[in-house]
Structure 1
């Protein structure tokens, strides 16, 4: 199956660009290596774009009356307004299938960013509260913050597949993110073409098993949207389907749902198999369910048997090739 090349925004430092506060980079091997062969990167460094340069003074988030403020640590310069303005402009123009942010960054972190007590601000209720919190928390009053830039982008695009490079070191999270960006890219390619209702019907049919592995109820809801393909205007139909499709794939694909999909596919090709081969496939699916083998094992066997006559519907499911195989993302055994 031909794969559409996703457009993915990324913190520039993760691709090796020397834009970090210390003049260095944070090159990530997976992003700059294996994944680079299959995606179109859109590098972004918000600190550089607001004119800070590299090397530069370090930044941190501090609690403010209207939300976190982005402050330089030494000179106490408030960069909240320029960063917020850049984030608004970037978010409005963003046309990508996913985004990989730099972890632990006060501008680009997507979770767990410390928010410090305000420093050098006038006395008042907020300052008093900060002072009270500081001794117990080492000047950190909240560890659940998001980077100022990343938070604005995520708020503007709530269904956009987003991760940071730290979380992508986890095999399950890496696979889920890559699966989503390729699915979103395929949908983007369809909706930017001169598509017709039957094209959306075909797209939905090809993604049936993939969607069922994530969110069976959402798949049925998407089916109701597709059923209106000949009656609703293209634009509103595309928006409705796109949002529901992205939301469905954001749900975690569980072992149980994968097992249901594998059995569903086996049932559709069962008439083309002799009893011994059917028994072998059932045994492999059970081994996956028992966490003895990786998902790639039953998937590869089912795809092999679906290449015969009468199995085109199963063979063409995106579930079997959701992204380039050389990424090897289904090769881990779920613990």
Structure 2
């Protein structure tokens, strides 16, 4: 059930950067214990060598070119061709973790220039990263720089482990009950990200006999993956937690109920992190031995060891 993640080869793996360097990234190293990495360096793959002249992205006539400013050699067509060939052969991929600021791999972080202008005029996706996004619109694509942000990193983890779980489930589903069990486990996580799609997925599972199991699996996968595009707000979390709270509220004292409502207000007003409230509510699921709640992926959508807050100076 390990997620399959395409990673830029210069991140912890090989010294293939333009200057012969390697990127030491703590999070990517920790993540390697829980995922299968598929390494790639587009620039080395097209024969640019190590070390090599740094290339830049130049905008011209609404198009982006990858140019070696020292020799004026244009690598655009080679990078795009490699990207297309590499990506079309990928199967069972759950996410991409690419190198920030790279003209080939950066995600919204590669510097963009205008012809003959030595000052960057903005930022864009690297050419390889852009093809990844075009070919895998529903798969999470991030670079190690963006993953320094705790919220972006948590959402990335939610997606790659959820998609891996779905992939494994669908590959092994021989009976509709297996898909029903999966859907039950993901009810509140789906509610957090996309309530409308939660209902659609429920209808697909409920009406599976009309289209058959295989078509049900195809439709379920398509809508499930499209459900995680937006970053959930604190109020979305509170909405989910209130639904969960309803399962056991009648068993609580007046003081406990008041305390929980106070926690909700503190989270909304950003006086405490929402993770504190989630852990507190999770405790009641185990206290009352509510099996339906205890298996909810909302409470632990990825391995607990990855639920870390890395300080900026560790990256």
Identify whether the pair has TM-score above 0.5, normalized to the shorter chain: yes
Instruction: Write the mapping of 1:16-165 to structure 2, written as runs, cut at 5 A.
Output: 16-32=13-29, 34-64=30-60, 67-94=63-90, 95-118=92-115, 134=117, 138=118, 140=120, 143-165=122-144
- Paired with 1:254 and 1:329, the residues of 2 have a C-alpha distance of 20
| Residue 292 (structure 2) aligns with | 313
Residue 37 of structure 2 is aligned to residue 9 of structure 1: no
Residue 182 of structure 2 is aligned to residue 203 of structure 1: yes
TM-score (norm 2): 0.90
Render the CA deviation track for 1:71-102: whole Å, top value 9, x for unaligned. 22222222222211111112112231110111
SS in 1 for 2:23: coil
Q: Which runs of 5+ in 2 are unaligned?
A: none
- Paired with 1:52 and 1:82, the residues of 2 have a C-alpha distance of 10
TM-score (norm 1): 0.85
The structural deviation recorded for 1:309 is 5.3
CA contact (8 A) 2:65 2:74 kept: yes
- Count of residue correspondences: 310
Render the CA deviation track for 1:95-153: whole Å, top value 9, x for unaligned. 3111011111111112143333346xxxxxxxxxxxxxx4xxx465x524321111111
SS in 2 for 1:15: coil
- Paired with 1:300 and 1:64, the residues of 2 have a C-alpha distance of 51
* CA shift in 2, pair 1:197/1:178, >3 Å: same
- Paired with 1:54 and 1:279, the residues of 2 have a C-alpha distance of 63
